[in-house]
Amino acid sequence: MARSSASSSERPARTGLPTSGARVYLDYASFAPVDPRVVAVMRPFFEGGVGNPNAQHSLGLEARSSLDGARGKVARLFGATPAGVIFTASATEANNLAIKGLAQRAAGRHLVTSAIEHVSLIDSCRDLEKRGWSVSYVGVDAGGRVDPEAVARAIRDDTVLVSVMAANTEIGTIQPVREIGRIARARGVPFHVDAVGAAGRVPLLVDDCRIDLLTLSSNDLYGPPGAGALWARSTVKLAPLTVGGGQERGYRAGTENLPAIAGMGVAADLARVEVAGEVARLSELRDRLMAGLLDRITEARLTGARGPDRLPHHVSIVVPGVKAESVLTDLDLRGIAASSGATCTAMTGEPSHVLRAIGCDRDTAEGSLCFTLGRWTTASEIDLVLDAVPAVVARARRPASQ
């Protein structure tokens, strides 16, 4: 069994960190560096003679064994059946398959989701609305929490799916998926959970939470980008989005990306084994960073939930009187990489739909800063950030004439 990652001496070498010049990397929600132990397992797939997992010769059978092994490792992370794992190229593709694939096979034409889902899920729902489906977007409270009873009230006789993410990666709030799952099961409606933000950080078992579909990203587990998965319970029927072959039980045509999938399997296994120590370590660093920023930056306000309802690696704040873009640029010049809101929506130029949902106006949202910690974050790096951010904010607030 792999050792716990509770102490810095036991954590993997920092060779997986980005080399773009950032001395302190606190943008793990955007991109988690690939763990060197994952890279080591992937390397033979690039350097050796690996066959197509659908070929019938010996190399193909070996490749099939590696593919099935990865499927089992991913399934074990959530206490799921390996046969239900459908490998995709990303969590975005998995969300599209869950939403559109189920809707196209179901009799009803109504879906229930939350107002703070990932843009890939929101846009999938909007695409269905253009084609005649109706969608109920359940609001959240000021901490970004979905009320299970509001979900219950939104379910109709023609509802075919309830979809609520396990945790929001923009504000760090963990959702009450167990309660929502029980409501959906009692009403006979399949329940989908986007588990990208929670995987390896929050206990999440598909049977305990009555989950019928679950989305997973490789890179958020310190695995390679270019791989994701959708787990689907055997009772759920989906229409494939990509046709042209029988791969992944016919749900996702195209030769599987075996090196990335094998890496994803290893990453899922490491996350399952090391979760307890890593969560404890990151929670301590998170609380230290959170308290320091709120204490040292006047009028700074935490976004998202506090305490056990917050992701253990996540700190997000809004700072009145500054533009996040300016602050992040200054931090980058000082060797600190952080973010503002969700990277996947940053290019639209629109205010974050998540911050709007929790009551932030446009001016407030413009001062949104997000710091996400990870496997290689150290206490000394937190000290550097606590020294740098208040100074950068003070400079950004200073009138241009000074």
Q: pLDDT tens, 131-171? A: 999 999 999 999 999 999 999 999 999 999 999 999 999 99
324-333 and 379-397 are packed helices; what angle lies between their axes, rounded to 10 degrees? 130
Which stretch of 180-184, 201-205, 270-274, 362-366 has the lowest confidence by average pLDDT? 362-366
366 in a structural domain: yes
Query: CA 218, 203, 357, 320 torsion: positive or negative?
Result: negative
Higher pLDDT, 401 or 174: 174
> What is the per-residue pLDDT for 398?
80
Q: Where are the beta strands (DSSP E) in 149-280?
A: 159-163, 191-194, 213-217, 228-232
- pLDDT tens per residue across span 370-390: 999 999 999 999 999 999 999
Does residue 1 belong to any structural domain of this protein?
Answer: no
Q: Is residue 46 part of a domain?
A: yes
Of the residues 209, 344, 360, 370, only one is catalytic, namely: 344
User: Any catalytic annotation for residue 344?
Assistant: yes
Domain match, 224 and 195 both: yes
Q: Is residue 2 part of a domain?
A: no
Amino acid occupying residue 231 = W
Residue 5 has a pLDDT of 36
pLDDT bracket for residue 185 (50, 70, 90): very high
Question: What integer is the mean pLDDT of 88-113?
Answer: 97
In this prediction, residues 320-330 reach a mean pLDDT of 95
Q: Are residues 260 and 330 in the same domain?
A: no
| Residue 74 maps to a domain | yes
Within this chain, do residues 255 and 334 fall inside the same structural domain, yes or no? no
The pLDDT value recorded for residue 130 is 97
In this prediction the pTM is 0.92
Say yes or no to pLDDT of 223 above 80: yes
Which range of residues forms the domain containing residue 88?
38-269
CA distance 126 to 357: 17
- pLDDT given for residue 4 in this prediction: 34
Q: Which of 269, 300, 321 is the last residue in one of the domains?
A: 269
151/240 same-domain check:
yes
pLDDT confidence bin for 351, thresholds 50/70/90:
confident
Residue 3 within any structural domain of the chain: no
Q: Which two tokens stand for residue 92?
A: 């975005």
Residue at a domain's end among 269, 300, 327: 269
Residue 85 lies in a domain: yes
Within this chain, do residues 14 and 49 fall inside the same structural domain, yes or no? no
Q: Residue 19: its pLDDT value, please?
A: 46
Looking at the fold, whether 167 and 186 belong to one and the same domain comes out as yes
Q: Which residues pair with 162 in a beta bridge?
A: 112, 191
402 domain-assigned: no
The verdict on 304 and 380 lying in the same domain is yes
The answer on pLDDT for 345 being more than 70 is no
Going by C-beta distance under 8 Å and a sequence separation of 6 or more, which residues neighbour residue 207? 79
Give 257's pLDDT tier (boundaries 50, 70, 90): very high
Q: Are residues 279 and 265 in the same domain?
A: no
- Binned at pLDDT 50, 70 and 90, residue 13 comes out as low
Confidence of residue 347 (pLDDT cuts 50, 70, 90): low
Do 229 and 330 fall within a single domain?
no
Residues 221 and 192 in one domain: yes
| Total tally of structural domains belonging to the chain | 2
Least confident among 60-64, 194-198, 227-231: 60-64
pLDDT at 115 over 90: yes
Task: Say what the pLDDT of residue 193 is.
Answer: 98
φ/ψ of residue 214, rounded to 5: -140, 130
Provide the CATH number for the domain around residue 138: 3.40.640.10
The pLDDT value recorded for residue 368 is 96
Residue 66 and residue 213 in one domain:
yes
Residue 266 has pLDDT above 60, yes or no: yes
Q: In the listed set 237, 269, 301, which residue is the last one of a domain according to the structure?
A: 269
* Residue 29 near residue 339, CB atoms below 8 Å: yes
CA distances (Å), origin 61, targets 52, 85, 130, 186, 261: 8, 19, 44, 42, 16
* 231 and 298 together in one domain: no
pLDDT on residue 1: 32
